[in-house]
Structure 1
């Protein structure tokens, strides 16, 4: 569901100022925190998506719209696409940590798989409780991550704090009210485009 800004970090671990500042320094040194992008950086339109890996609206965009965006706009050099973390709960935060710990070329396939199978690993459709962490661990294993490595990532406070700090700064800077949230060059769009045509129109409007 669309999560409003006041609830974005309510379920996440608190990050105090002394933790935020080291996290910011770590962003410059830790390759896991580097941008995850697709396409040509020289493309005329740069699109940024702030998303959460447990957001059903993000999953809808990823499965129904993004494949066409990839083939028609990213792969053809029309847009440069960057993923931005905006986790809405502890499970989404862990998923973001895992995604960023994978080799760069496995990032987008992992994100696509996590969002594309959201109702199988994170949410129950039959009323039975779901072990989301176990489900996420299985997807991570398919991406080549060992059980021990997954457990180590889960305990990585530095990575966790850095992602929370950056997400909080972005939420404040851009007044992010929910996920997914987009920027087309400097033009904000606060909901996920529901069709490729809607997305393509936003790209056209942002074109120089």
Structure 2
């Protein structure tokens, strides 16, 4: 069955309205447990200064940064330990939310590879006319070891969706994020894709 997701924007809705009103169980209400799927997803050494990227998997500017600039940032700044890049979800529409849910459901060590594959093939799964969005996302998830049944289970997990949307709302409140990508350098938000040189300058590190 073809599953084409309506590209409903999440920007038009009030921030609080984005989060599904789910009633927690009595056990959850008494002792909330942190969901490891919503933990930090990052690349780099733990002690390195963090740069935060708020991104949407259906954002073409995010894809351009990830496909063109991120390889340089990774090899010249992240791997030498100059910075750590922290990815934070800021889905712009329902398709991006679905992709973020699947990405978060994967083991943390497979996260970067999966979002890289999504960005590299964004035109096919996110924008192709009449595309079965979920089937295309599932094909990429299969390469990361995730079955279609696991993809469907993740997409049905309202608590995971809620956690992602709460993180998005926190980005709006904390750093006034309203577009993607938005990078946060030393607690200073910078909207828009940046070149490698500009990234290094804003991070306060040598680009050499």
| Length-normalised TM-score, structure 1 | 0.84
SS in 2 for 1:91: helix
Q: 1:74 aligns with which of 75, 78, 84?
A: 78
Aligned pair count reads 193
Give a deviation string over 1:71-108, Cα, whole Å, max 9, x none: 00000000011100101111111111111111111000
Aligned counterparts, 1:1-208, within 5 A? 8=11, 10=13, 14-15=18-19, 29-43=34-48, 45-124=49-128, 128-193=129-194, 195-204=195-204
CA distance in 2, matches of 1:97, 1:16: 14
CA offset at residue 8 of structure 1?
Answer: 2.2
Please tell me whether the aligned partners of residues 20 and 162 of structure 2 are also in contact (alpha carbons under 8 angstroms).
no
Q: Per the alignment, do residues 134 and 10 of structure 1 end up closer, same or farther by CA in structure 2, a change over 3 Å counting?
A: farther
Rounded to whole Å, the distance in 2 between the matches of 1:72 and 1:163 is 30
Q: Which runs of 5+ in 2 are unaligned?
A: 1-8
Task: Decide whether the 8 Å contact of 2:54 with 2:87 is kept in 1.
Answer: yes
Secondary structure of 1:183's partner? strand
SS where residue 130 of structure 2 aligns? Answer: coil
Give distance in 1, aligned partners of 2:130 and 2:80: 43
User: 3-state SS of the aligned residue for 1:107?
Assistant: helix
Q: Which runs of 4+ in 1 moved over 3 A?
A: 9-14, 16-20
Structure 1 residues 156 and 130 mapped into 2: Cα distance closer, same or farther (>3 Å)? same
Cα-to-partner distance string for 1:15-73 (whole Å, 9 max, x where unaligned): 256669x79x86x5211011011111222x31000001111110000001000000000
TM-score scaled by length of structure 2: 0.84
Q: Is the 8 A contact 1:74 1:81 kept in 2?
A: yes
- Kept in 1, the 8 Å contact 2:59–2:180? The answer is yes
Cα RMSD over matched residues? 2.6
Q: Would you say the 8 A contact 1:9–1:89 is kept in 2?
A: no
Which consecutive residues of structure 1, in runs of 5 or more, have no partner in the other structure? Answer: 1-5
